[in-house]
Structure 1
Amino acid sequence: MTAPQSDADTVIDWCLRLSDGPLSPKERTDLHAWLADDPRRGERLGAALAAWDAVEENADAPEMLALRREALGAVHRAGQRRWLRTPMVSRPVVWAIAAVLLLALSLGSLAWRHGGRDEYRTAIGERRVIALADGSRLSLDADSMVTVAFSPQRRDIVLEKGRARFKVAKDPLRPFAVRSGRNVVIATGTEFSVERLSREVRVALFEGRVAVLRDTPQGQMNEVVRLGGHQLTAERALTPGHEIGLPVSGFVGSVSSSIGNDGWGAEQVSFTSETLVAAAERMNRYAQRRRIIVDPGAADIRVSGVFNNGDVDAFADAIATTFPVDAAVTGEAIRLSRRR
């Protein structure tokens, strides 16, 4: 009799399948069933996929040597596991398999289920990668929250706060819709991010194409953005490597020249002519000690620079030195206000 396969082995199996390319309809059904049995599995598989990518992209980097040694030890301890007996598995792939196993099993649960919807959230300074039931991948930035509801007809995501990046598994018969406020981003198979700020929603496109809609009293309509003195639908204006900003108040958005340093996985964040209020919101996602509060009178000051994630003290000092802004520390907050 064959011993039942452990969750760890199954994580590795799905990681290999998803890395090989799009899943078949039967594989998507099997993955959905496996993930539905335990909400912890989605995050474990997501962590495994993220680690897999890191090992493939940085296999020769010096900092990977210690991980390789630990991974090889796990391989030897595993003995005669089925996935090591496969002739086509090369030694670098074995390192990757062992590494994703180590990382995936070190993580705990992140998912909560509410009325058929899965909820994922991150704390301040925390990032997560989650594998969704259709084979898509969700990367959550710090201090962010999404809810996920999949059905046979639709794949619906709601970004409640923060920022999320989506690598969407192709499924033309089931649209992948991400809602944030009045905005809805729809894709079938592509890679993009959505960020929710107090004044606007930002959509960055890394690959493929998306439709961007807005809820109105007359129904959903195409978002409109300004580009080169003309107004275009967001779908036409948004091309890979670019980002659009959609105002919470108003109806015409804007297109940035490029995504630039989008900060995914980076320890620093850069700003280029960013409003002070938006820059402060991004810094606050990693602020463990104090948070920045921007008074309305200083909110529209445009700032540029590179800062360590969460170093709000250095950020506030730089702003106060460069602009007519006062930085006042009050308890757990730094208030930035225009100098009189």
Structure 2
Amino acid sequence: MSLLHPVFRDIGSAEDAADAAAALWLARTGAGWSPADEAALQAWITADVAQAEAWAGIGEVMDLFDDASAPELAPLRDQALRAADQGARRRPVLTRRRLIGGGVGAGLAAAAAGLVVLDAQPPWRTYRAEPGARRSVVLADGSRLTLDAGAEVRTRFTDGRRDLVLTTGQARFEVAKAPRRPFAVAVGDHLVVATGTAFNIEHEGDGAMVTLLEGRVEVRARRTGQVAARLQPGQGYRLAAGGDGVLIPQADVNQAVAWTEGQLIFQDERLETAARRVSRYSPQRPIRVSPEAGDLRVSGVFAADDADAFVEAVSLYLPVAATRRPDGSVDLTLRRAPAP
């Protein structure tokens, strides 16, 4: 089911639809605004990164109109609000792009006597951990982000939102408390939403695993905003492409955070998956597993930066043979039984 108002159905792009919806929400604020209205607005904002971006952008433009040092801008703000309200009632819909780029933007420029608005939205900032190394950073709001080897997270913070995208790899999020600024991490088709808590997300291929360490989080469908799960400390949620997921009532927290201490814990893990994780820490010497051996199971505790010990252990306890290549890479293949 679409969350879009019917007036948005003819809009050609999702970005325009989000901008138009933000204009409609803006027009509705003011007298008569209720707690239920605020809850509905917050649900809409957190349902999709594009919607959060649209709301942040239009809010910052309206903040310019509210500047007390420039009272001559007040009539322009009123004009923008009236235009947004009218745009919600007819087609074509007045979107934020048209508010900024059309007559309102021109009037603002003239009234501000030379003020130039280049972009109402702050840029995305990207944090990466190099292959073979972990990285820890303190974000602008005081939250701490710890990246596993090879992981990447993009962030964009505004006065009302904290939006992040885990594009690849694994990260731990220790969220500074700010109840009025939801902290939303997009991963695949889902959003993990918190206000002050600590959790771990591992993003592998089309799936991901969320493990809650402290506080509470909601896992939501990214497109609809529907809540898929509300996690308590010690619980996990396994995400899959397409919006499906599985609640893990008792997740292995030690396994989820062992990488932050330089360890990898495998519990009945597929050999192919375990080898790929070990290879994050030795990208110049990757471990490749043949399809025939990929489903063999691995359990144990390994030093993240000791690929040789991992290869030696699996070769000893599993029916696999290790072939070392001149470039330092290793091939693990199913060991054949000797001919009779």
Q: Same fold (TM over 0.5)?
A: yes
Aligned-pair CA distance for 1:162: 1.4
Q: Secondary structure at the match of 1:263?
A: helix
Q: Give the corresponding residue for 2:253.
A: 259
Q: What TM-score comes out, normalization by structure 2 length? A: 0.57
Q: Secondary structure at the match of 1:277?
A: helix
Q: Give the corresponding residue for 2:173.
A: 166
Distance 1:124 1:189 in 2: 29
Q: Secondary structure at the match of 2:261?
A: coil
Q: Is the 8 A contact 1:145 1:159 kept in 2?
A: yes
**1:112-167 Cα shifts (integer Å, max 9, x gaps):** xx971111111122222211111211111222111111122211111111111111
Residue 222 (str. 1) matches residue 223 (str. 2): no
Q: Secondary structure at the match of 1:337?
A: strand
In structure 2, the CA distance between the partners of 1:212 and 1:317, relative to structure 1 (3 Å rule), is same
Distance 1:312 1:130 in 2: 26
Aligned-pair CA distance for 1:254: 5.0
Aligned-pair CA distance for 1:265: 3.5
In structure 2, the CA distance between the partners of 1:140 and 1:221, relative to structure 1 (3 Å rule), is same
In structure 2, the CA distance between the partners of 1:317 and 1:199, relative to structure 1 (3 Å rule), is farther
Q: Give the corresponding residue for 1:247.
A: 240
Q: Give the corresponding residue for 1:28.
A: none
Q: Which amino acid aligns with 1:153?
A: G
Q: Give the corresponding residue for 1:338.
A: 334
Distance 1:273 1:212 in 2: 26
Q: Secondary structure at the match of 2:130?
A: coil
Q: Is the 8 A contact 1:197 1:281 kept in 2?
A: no
Between structure 1 and structure 2, the one with the greater Rg is: 2
Aligned-pair CA distance for 1:192: 0.6
Aligned-pair CA distance for 1:288: 5.2
Distance 2:188 2:333 in 1: 28
Q: Secondary structure at the match of 1:298?
A: coil
Q: Which amino acid aligns with 2:233?
A: P
Distance 1:195 1:156 in 2: 18
Distance 2:222 2:129 in 1: 27
Q: Which amino acid aligns with 1:309?
A: A
Q: Give the corresponding residue for 2:50.
A: none
Which residue of 126, 132, 135 corresponds with 1:125? 132
Q: Give the corresponding residue for 1:293.
A: 288
Q: Is the 8 A contact 1:185 1:211 kept in 2?
A: yes
Residue 210 (str. 1) matches residue 206 (str. 2): no
Q: Is the 8 A contact 1:197 1:278 kept in 2?
A: no
Deviates more, 1:275-284 or 1:206-215: 275-284
Q: Give the corresponding residue for 1:274.
A: 269
Q: Which amino acid aligns with 1:195?
A: E
Q: What TM-score comes out, normalization by structure 1 length? A: 0.57
In structure 2, the CA distance between the partners of 1:244 and 1:277, relative to structure 1 (3 Å rule), is farther
Q: Secondary structure at the match of 2:278?
A: helix
The gaps in structure 2 that reach 5 residues or longer are: 1-120
**1:220-249 Cα shifts (integer Å, max 9, x gaps):** 4333xxxxxxxxxx32xx321333322347
Aligned-pair CA distance for 1:289: 4.2
Distance 2:270 2:206 in 1: 10
Distance 1:239 1:338 in 2: 41
The gaps in structure 1 that reach 5 residues or longer are: 1-113, 224-233
Task: Quote the sequence identity (%).
Answer: 42
Q: Which amino acid aligns with 1:221?
A: Q
Aligned-pair CA distance for 1:264: 4.4
Q: Which amino acid aligns with 1:307?
A: F
**1:170-190 Cα shifts (integer Å, max 9, x gaps):** 222221111122221110111
In structure 2, the CA distance between the partners of 1:252 and 1:118, relative to structure 1 (3 Å rule), is closer
Residue 328 (str. 1) matches residue 290 (str. 2): no
Q: Give the corresponding residue for 2:188.
A: 181
Aligned-pair CA distance for 1:274: 1.9
Distance 1:171 1:313 in 2: 45
In structure 2, the CA distance between the partners of 1:324 and 1:186, relative to structure 1 (3 Å rule), is same
Q: Which amino acid aligns with 1:119?
A: T
